[in-house]
C-alpha cells in the first residue's frame, strides 16, 4: 500500500491547479489556430461597408476555401469566398464596376468585397434569416426561395435536415458551426 503524504498531496493539488489555469488561459489562443482571421482588415472593412457580420464572412471563407486565395472549385467558383464568375459579373454590374474579369476573383480585396456585397443582398432578400442566407450562398437564392415556397424547408436551423441538396445541408451546418466558433473565440 502506497501512502501519500500531506506534502505530496499539496504538490499534486497545486500541479492540477497550474495545469487547469494554463488550459483556461491558453484555450482561446490554441483554438484560434483552427479558426484564424486571414485578411482581417479587408474583411472587417468590407463587412462594415456591407452591413454584414465579419465573423460570418470568416466562417464562410473557412468553409469555402480554407483561406486559400487561389482556390477554385470543379464548377468554377473562385477565390476565398468561392464566387462563381457569373455571379461576380452580376455583382460588378449591380455596383457599376466596369472591366471585371473572372481572374480578379483571386484578389482578396475584390473577392471579399463581392462576397460581402452578395451576403448583404441575401440578408435583405431573406430578412436576416441566417440559415436561409447561408443555404442561398451555396445553392443559389432562387433554389432556396423555391424550397421555402414549396414547403420543402421552412428556413429554420431546427429543420436543416429538410434541405433537399445534401451538399447544401452539410455546407449550412458547417458554416453555422464555424460561425458559432468564431463568435465564441473572438467576441
User: Which residue range is the domain that position 79 belongs to?
Assistant: 37-186
Q: pLDDT 10s per residue in the chain (187 long)?
A: 566 777 877 888 787 776 765 655 555 567 788 999 999 999 999 999 999 999 999 999 999 999 999 999 999 999 999 999 999 999 999 999 999 999 999 999 999 999 999 999 999 999 999 999 999 999 999 999 999 999 999 999 999 999 999 999 999 999 999 999 999 999 8
Cα-based angle 38, 41, 44 (whole degrees, multiple of 5) = 100
Mark whether 27 and 55 lie in a shared domain. Answer: no
List the one residue out of 51, 54, 55, 178 whose CA is nearest residue 124. Answer: 51
Mark whether 21 and 54 lie in a shared domain. Answer: no
Q: Which three cell numbers stand for residue 39?
A: 485578411
For the entire predicted model, the pTM comes to 0.85
Task: Return the active site residues.
Answer: 64
Mark whether 127 and 157 lie in a shared domain. Answer: yes
Q: Measured in whole angstroms, how far is the alpha carbon of residue 149 from the centre of its chain?
A: 26
Mark whether 45 and 90 lie in a shared domain. Answer: yes
- Count of structural domains within the chain: 2
Mark whether 83 and 21 lie in a shared domain. Answer: no
DSSP H or E segment with residue 42: helix 40-49
Mark whether 100 and 160 lie in a shared domain. Answer: yes
Mark whether 5 and 45 lie in a shared domain. Answer: no
Whether 52 contacts 116, CB under 8 Å: yes
Amino acid at each position: 500500500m502506497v501512502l501519500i503524504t500531506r506534502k505530496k498531496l499539496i504538490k499534486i493539488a497545486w500541479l492540477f491547479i497550474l495545469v487547469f489555469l494554463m488550459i483556461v488561459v491558453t484555450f482561446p489562443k490554441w483554438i484560434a489556430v483552427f479558426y484564424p482571421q486571414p485578411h482581417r482588415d479587408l474583411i472587417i472593412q468590407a463587412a462594415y461597408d456591407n452591413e454584414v457580420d465579419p465573423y460570418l464572412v470568416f466562417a464562410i471563407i473557412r468553409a469555402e476555401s480554407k483561406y486559400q486565395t487561389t482556390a477554385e472549385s470543379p464548377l468554377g467558383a473562385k477565390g476565398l469566398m468561392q464566387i462563381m464568375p457569373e455571379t461576380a459579373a452580376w455583382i460588378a454590374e449591380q455596383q457599376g464596376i466596369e472591366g471585371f474579369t473572372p481572374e480578379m476573383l483571386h484578389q482578396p480585396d475584390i473577392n471579399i468585397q463581392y462576397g460581402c456585397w452578395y451576403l448583404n443582398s441575401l440578408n435583405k432578400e431573406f430578412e436576416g434569416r441566417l440559415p436561409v442566407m447561408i443555404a442561398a450562398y451555396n445553392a443559389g437564392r432562387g433554389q432556396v426561395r423555391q424550397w421555402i415556397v414549396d414547403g420543402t424547408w421552412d428556413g429554420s436551423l431546427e429543420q436543416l435536415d429538410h434541405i433537399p441538396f445534401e451538399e447544401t445541408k452539410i455546407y449550412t451546418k458547417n458554416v453555422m458551426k464555424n460561425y458559432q466558433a468564431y463568435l465564441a473565440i473572438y467576441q
